[in-house]
């Protein structure tokens, strides 16, 4: 039995980064860059008007003849005398002879000429070439998470493909003779199998869209055979059930016989103690407890960070939360507790119904409140750490 | 020009809930329930052992003969005398004649009999029928967000379909003669079009997987014609650019000519002032500023909540954050500022580079810090509100 912090460290040390691939920027949301990106162009690529107004060469003059127009998208490099200006719009090319744009609200204009009422300073409202980024400057360092803003920025530089870390292929193996698929008739002694659909959904929340689900009866031969295939073709393997010490729990044996290296078994926590973590080559195996709430707790605490590590995420992308407790908490177990909780802008409430078999509470929680094993008491009003799960 | 709070209220008042549909639970992640769900079964449906151990009828006896075994999934309702016990495993059916399970660590056992070393209290380790939820009890109220835990809970009750609010169909219309698609050659005076791909990605983050993108040149006729079709077939319409006061901004006119009702135009904020919001029947139209950073700001502040309202989300699902400021902020504009910022567990830093044309900063921000229009100063250490965008 190991401590939670040790378990986290061992998983992190074994969560190697996935291989990389080229991907269209349009498909790259929530991937992590595996390369440094430099800008192929100056942005803006030409001197751009920042306003709707008039472009002219800044002198002491206030009156100018209008000799042309520059719309966004035009490239008519109109020649301007010192007494001349052009009508110009936001984003449009500023002629080489002009150095300043006056916003239209600051001039009195008729069809042929303007009188500048409020003279802007020289260079006003002209975005210089490369103001946003210069050619060959760094756009993003490697390991940057690709957000909507990052996609927009890459696209505005004309970049259409990037190198990213692949997403891991994931599989779920469900064990248990007592399980019946939802939609079937529930015979006596049986319960509906819900962990696979729950874990599939949990994987979706961290970007794994498709997960293969396999089901086996509680026996060594079937479990071993299923695992052999699954281990070959996947980067993350989740196993639901069959890992406690009961005589009918074959999973650990089937894993060891498939040359999965045991990295730890059992963690000093509640819920979620009976968990096996191992690896074969770079494939990670999490044999999760069969109780749904335990299984999902360990998904959030251990599996999700491992998947994100493999995808190249940095921890910084999602900070833990700190909130003030709405009630006292006692911890007489000597174990780390993960309590289903609900936080708001400032506080956190521990929810009723923390039993490991119960998902009701989990469904209305937005966080797991962490009570470390060496903490016997938290007092109302004290600040505590949460892992958000919303 | 209206205030930010007014804009938010008007949008909320017009964001009607989408029609409902039946959906497989396996597809229902991040949808919102449009019905109250009651449980079709008792859960657990039978008296379940909570431990690996031995089931017996609680008396003053400590010694029992082992007369059978109950694995998870079995339904052999073994008859037990007062002197008899059965081997039983977690999740297994507890025979009608037994009322207590002793965990295996608390007995001395040989092949045929056990001696209970630590006697549990009567009824220990037996989960009663309906402990988690009773038949016909409420599983979830309407308007519950379907999380992985909720999916697990529905599935464990055998529920395979639910009624949810549909996701809105979304379209993006891009205007601007200056725009060239990324991957094409960039001619003088042109820039790469990046808002559509950015807004598509932003919509993906709130569950809208596919968005149709349309492009028109800056002229009234083309814009009007494109809008006519788009308005018929979509629930949310985003328009990028063409909404400021320049002579070449046809969008507002094209909207009005398509019988889109103007609900507001221009908001007292920076960035993102020139925005039009309107509706036609229940379709919402957001004409966003052309500057990428302004466009994305208004997406997070206005569009995302509207989409979520239409999907039935309650505000409570994602609280605002409160953080301590790492520096002073001045606001001499009289406008509400939305500043790209980065928060950690306790503090928030305003990032350099807040220009409305620049996406660089946005790409490394994880939040928008809100400075209300009537606040002239925030001091270092003061607590401020953030909208998380990670």
- pLDDT tens track for A229-244: 999 999 999 999 888 7
Q: What pLDDT does residue A317 have?
A: 46
Q: Among all residues of chain B, which has the CA nearest to that of A361?
A: B149
Q: What pLDDT does residue B354 have?
A: 84
Task: Tell if the CB–CB gap between B140 and A363 is shorter than 8 Å.
Answer: yes
Residue B316 reports pLDDT greater than 50: no
| Minimal Cβ distance to A132: which of B132, B190, B358 | B358
Higher local confidence (pLDDT), B26 or A76: B26
Q: What pLDDT does residue A116 have?
A: 97
User: pLDDT tier at B202 (50, 70, 90 boundaries)?
Assistant: very high
Task: Tell if the CB–CB gap between A359 and B183 is shorter than 8 Å.
Answer: no
Please compute the mean of the pLDDT values over residues B70-99 and round it to a whole number: 93
Q: Best interface-test mutation with B: which of A43, A77, A111, A189 has the largest number of B CBs within 10 A?
A: A189
Q: By C-alpha distance, which of A323, A343, A301, A371 is closest to B346? A: A323
Residue A318 reports pLDDT greater than 70: no
Q: What pLDDT does residue B184 have?
A: 94
| Assigned token pair, B78 | 């073994």
Q: Write down the CATH number for the domain with range B48-127.
A: 2.170.190.11
Residue A276 reports pLDDT greater than 80: yes
CATH 3.90.105.10 fits B31-42+133-165, yes or no: yes
Nearest-CA distance from A294 to chain B in Å? 11
Task: Tell if the CB–CB gap between B188 and A46 is shorter than 8 Å.
Answer: yes
Q: By C-alpha distance, which of A175, A176, A167, A232 is closest to A203? A: A167
- What kind of fold does domain A20-42+131-165 have according to CATH? Molybdopterin biosynthesis moea protein, domain 2 (3.90.105)
**DSSP assignment string, B148-181:** HHHHHHHHHTT--EEEEEPPPPEEEEEE-TTEE-
Q: What pLDDT does residue B45 have?
A: 96
Task: Tell if the CB–CB gap between A178 and B91 is shorter than 8 Å.
Answer: yes
Q: By C-alpha distance, which of B268, B272, B378, B390 is closest to B323? A: B378
The structure tokens 């957000």 sit at A147
The structure tokens 């390991």 sit at A143
Q: What pLDDT does residue B317 have?
A: 47
Nearest-CA distance from A345 to chain B in Å? 6
Question: ipTM of the predicted structure?
Answer: 0.93
What's the CA gap between B205 and B11, in Å, rounded? 20
Q: What pLDDT does residue B244 have?
A: 74
Please compute the mean of the pLDDT values over residues A171-191 and round it to a whole number: 93
Task: Tell if the CB–CB gap between A246 and B144 is shorter than 8 Å.
Answer: no
Task: Tell if the CB–CB gap between A192 and B156 is shorter than 8 Å.
Answer: yes
| Assigned token pair, B351 | 């990032």
What's the CA gap between A101 and A119, in Å, rounded? 10
**DSSP assignment string, B284-304:** EEEEE-SSHHHHHHHIIIIIH
Q: By C-alpha distance, which of A116, A72, A105, A77 is closest to A90? A: A72
Nearest-CA distance from A20 to chain B in Å? 21
Q: Best interface-test mutation with B: which of A73, A162, A295 has the largest number of B CBs within 10 A?
A: A73
Q: Is the Cα torsion angle A253, A257, A258, A264 positive or negative in sign?
A: positive
Q: What pLDDT does residue A167 have?
A: 97
As a whole-number percent, the residues of chain A with pLDDT over 70 amount to 97
Average pLDDT over chain B reads: 94
Min mean pLDDT across A109-123, A246-260, A329-343 is at A246-260
Q: What pLDDT does residue A250 have?
A: 87
Contacts of B127 in chain A (CB under 8 A): 357
Q: Are B6 and B264 in contact (CB under 8 A)?
A: yes
**DSSP assignment string, B312-367:** T--GGGS--EEEEESS-EE--SSSEEEEEEEE-SSEEEEPS---TT--HHHHH--E
User: pLDDT tier at B315 (50, 70, 90 boundaries)?
Assistant: low
Nearest-CA distance from B192 to chain A in Å? 5
| Assigned token pair, A144 | 């940057």
Q: Best interface-test mutation with A: which of B1, B48, B197 has the largest number of A CBs within 10 A?
A: B197
Average pLDDT over chain A reads: 94
Contacts of A94 in chain B (CB under 8 A): none
Q: Are A335 and A3 in contact (CB under 8 A)?
A: no
Contacts of B321 in chain A (CB under 8 A): 345
* CATH architecture of residue range(s) A4-17+167-316: 3-Layer(aba) Sandwich (3.40)
Task: Tell if the CB–CB gap between B46 and A188 is shorter than 8 Å.
Answer: yes
Q: By C-alpha distance, which of A146, A140, A148, A124 is closest to A35? A: A140
In this structure, what are the phi and psi dihedrals at residue A177, rounded to the nearest 5 degrees? Answer: -70, -20
Q: What pLDDT does residue A358 have?
A: 73
Please compute the mean of the pLDDT values over residues A197-218 and round it to a whole number: 95
Q: What pLDDT does residue A180 have?
A: 94
Give B134-171 pLDDT, tens digit per residue: 999 999 999 999 999 999 999 999 999 999 999 999 99
Say which residues have a Cβ less than 8 Å from residue A108's Cβ, sequence separation at least 6. Answer: A114, A115, A117
The structure tokens 């008491």 sit at A377
Residue A264 reports pLDDT greater than 60: yes
Task: Tell if the CB–CB gap between A363 and B176 is shorter than 8 Å.
Answer: no
Please compute the mean of the pLDDT values over residues B123-136 and round it to a whole number: 95
Nearest-CA distance from B361 to chain A in Å? 9
Contacts of B129 in chain A (CB under 8 A): none
In this structure, what are the phi and psi dihedrals at residue A349, rounded to the nearest 5 degrees? Answer: -115, 130
Residue B387 reports pLDDT greater than 60: yes
Nearest-CA distance from A256 to chain B in Å? 23
State the CB neighbour count (10 A cutoff) for residue A258: 19
What's the CA gap between A240 and A176, in Å, rounded? 9
User: pLDDT tier at B325 (50, 70, 90 boundaries)?
Assistant: very high
Contacts of A319 in chain B (CB under 8 A): 343-345
| Per-domain residue ranges of chain B | 4-17+167-316, 31-42+133-165, 48-127, 319-388
User: pLDDT tier at A390 (50, 70, 90 boundaries)?
Assistant: confident
Look at phi and psi of residue B387 and say left if phi exceeds 0, alpha if psi is from -120 to 50, else beta.
beta
Task: Tell if the CB–CB gap between B176 and A132 is shorter than 8 Å.
Answer: no
Q: Among all residues of chain B, which has the CA nearest to that of A384?
A: B345
Residue A357 reports pLDDT greater than 70: no
Contacts of B53 in chain A (CB under 8 A): none
Q: What pLDDT does residue B368 have?
A: 94
CATH 2.40.340.10 fits B319-388, yes or no: yes
Query: Distance of alpha carbon B10 from its chain centroid, rounded?
Result: 22
As a whole-number percent, the residues of chain B with pLDDT over 70 amount to 97
* HSE toward the beta carbon, residue A116, CA cutoff 13 A: 27
SS3 state at A363: helix
Bridge partners, residue A1, by sequence: none
Higher local confidence (pLDDT), B314 or B8: B8
| Minimal Cβ distance to A358: which of B71, B132, B178 | B132
Q: What pLDDT does residue B318 have?
A: 55
Q: What pLDDT does residue B248 have?
A: 72
Q: Are B174 and B216 in contact (CB under 8 A)?
A: yes
Q: Is the Cα torsion angle A315, A318, A319, A324 positive or negative in sign?
A: negative
Q: Best interface-test mutation with B: which of A137, A148, A243 has the largest number of B CBs within 10 A?
A: A148
Q: Among all residues of chain A, which has the CA nearest to that of B95?
A: A189
């Amino acid at each position: 039995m190991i401590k939670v912090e040790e378990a986290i460290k061992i998983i992190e040390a074994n969560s190697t980064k996935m291989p990389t691939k080229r991907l269209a920027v349009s498909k790259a949301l929530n991937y992590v860059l595996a390369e440094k990106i430099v800008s192929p162009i100056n942005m803006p690529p030409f001197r751009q008007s920042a306003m709707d107004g008039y472009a002219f060469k800044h002198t002491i003059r206030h009156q100018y003849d209008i000799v042309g127009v520059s719309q966004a998208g035009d490239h008519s490099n109109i020649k301007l005398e010192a007494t001349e200006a052009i009508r110009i719009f936001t984003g449009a090319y500023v002629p080489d002879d002009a150095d300043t744009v006056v916003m239209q609200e600051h001039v009195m204009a008729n069809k042929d000429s303007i009188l500048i009422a409020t003279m802007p300073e020289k260079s006003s409202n002209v975005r210089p070439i490369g103001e946003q980024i210069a050619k060959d400057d760094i756009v993003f360092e490697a390991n940057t998470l690709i957000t909507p803003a990052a996609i927009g920025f890459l696209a505005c530089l004309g970049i259409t493909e990037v190198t990213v870390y692949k997403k891991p292929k994931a599989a779920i193996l469900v064990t248990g003779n007592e399980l019946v698929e939802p939609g079937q008739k529930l015979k006596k002694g049986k319960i509906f199998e819900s962990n696979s659909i729950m874990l599939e959904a949990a994987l979706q929340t961290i970007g794994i869209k498709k997960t293969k689900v396999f089901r086996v009866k509680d026996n060594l031969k079937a479990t071993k055979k299923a695992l052999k295939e699954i281990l070959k073709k996947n980067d993350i393997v989740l196993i639901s059930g069959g890992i406690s010490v009961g005589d009918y729990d074959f999973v650990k044996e089937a894993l060891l016989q498939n040359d999965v290296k045991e990295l730890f078994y059992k963690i000093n926590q509640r819920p979620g103690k009976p968990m096996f973590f191992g690896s074969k080559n770079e494939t990670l195996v999490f044999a999760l407890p069969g109780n749904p709430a335990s299984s999902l707790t360990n998904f959030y605490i251990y599996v999700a960070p491992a998947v994100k590590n493999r995808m190249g995420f940095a921890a910084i992308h999602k900070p833990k939360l700190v909130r003030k407790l709405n009630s006292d908490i006692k911890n007489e177990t000597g174990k780390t507790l993960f309590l289903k909780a609900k936080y708001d802008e400032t506080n956190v409430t521990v929810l009723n119904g923390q039993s490991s078999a119960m998902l009701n509470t989990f469904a209305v929680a937005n966080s797991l409140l962490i009570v470390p094993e060496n903490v016997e008491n938290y007092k109302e009003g004290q600040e505590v750490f949460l892992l958000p799960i919303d």
